[in-house]
Amino acid sequence: MKPLQFLALGSLAACLTAQAEVASEKNMTLKIASEIANATVQACTAKGYNVTAAVVDRAGDVRAILRTDKAGPHTLDSARRKAYTAASTKRSTSEMLENVQKNPAAQYLPMIDGFLVVGGGIPVKVGDEVIGAVGVGGAPGGHLDDQCATAGIEAVKDQLK
C-alpha cells in the first residue's frame, strides 16, 4: 500500500471513529422546570416570603422563572445567577460560599461572570447527573432560599428518574 493511500485510509478511520462518539445527556424539560418553579414559589409563599424562583437547564440557560407579586426587582437576577452557579458548579451555592470562605484559592470564584455565591441555588439531579438547578432570591436569608429550592425539587422527585 502506498503511503498516501495508507494516510487517507487512516484519516477516514479516524473520522468514522469520531462520528461514533456521541454524548447522551439528560436535561431539564420545560414541564419539570415549570413544576419546580411553581412548587418553590409556593413553599416560600407559605412561609410569607416574597421571592423569585429561576430554573435553569444543565447549561445554565433559563427554562422557567416565577416572581411573586411583591418580590423585589433584584430577586430576578439573584435567582437566575444562583441557579446558573449551582448548575455550572454542580454544587449548592451554600457549599460554594463555604468553600470560598475557607479556601483562599477559591476567593476568585465569585468573580466569574454570572456567578452569585450566596445561599439559594440547588442543583437538580437525575441520579448523580446534574440536569439543571433552581435558584431562589428574596427570602430573608440564603438558608431559607435553600429550603424553598429544596422543597421545589422534592415536589418533582418522582419524575427525576
pLDDT tens digits, one per residue of 52-103: 999 999 999 999 999 999 999 999 999 999 999 999 999 999 999 999 999 9
pLDDT in tens, 13-37: 565 555 668 988 999 999 999 999 9
What pLDDT shows up at residue 49? 98
Delimit the domains of the chain by residue range: 25-159
pLDDT for residue 1 is more than 60: no
- Say what the pTM is: 0.86
25-159 maps to which CATH number?
3.30.450.150
Instruction: Give the DSSP per-residue string, the chain.
Output: --HHHHHHHHHHHHHHHHHH---------HHHHHHHHHHHHHHHHHTT---EEEEEETTS-EEEEEE-TT--THHHHHHHHHHHHHHHHTS-HHHHHHHHHH-GGGTTGGGSTT---SS-EEEEEETTEEEEEEEEE-SSSHHHHHHHHHHHHHTTGGG--
What percent of the chain shows pLDDT beyond 90? 84
What pLDDT shows up at residue 46? 98
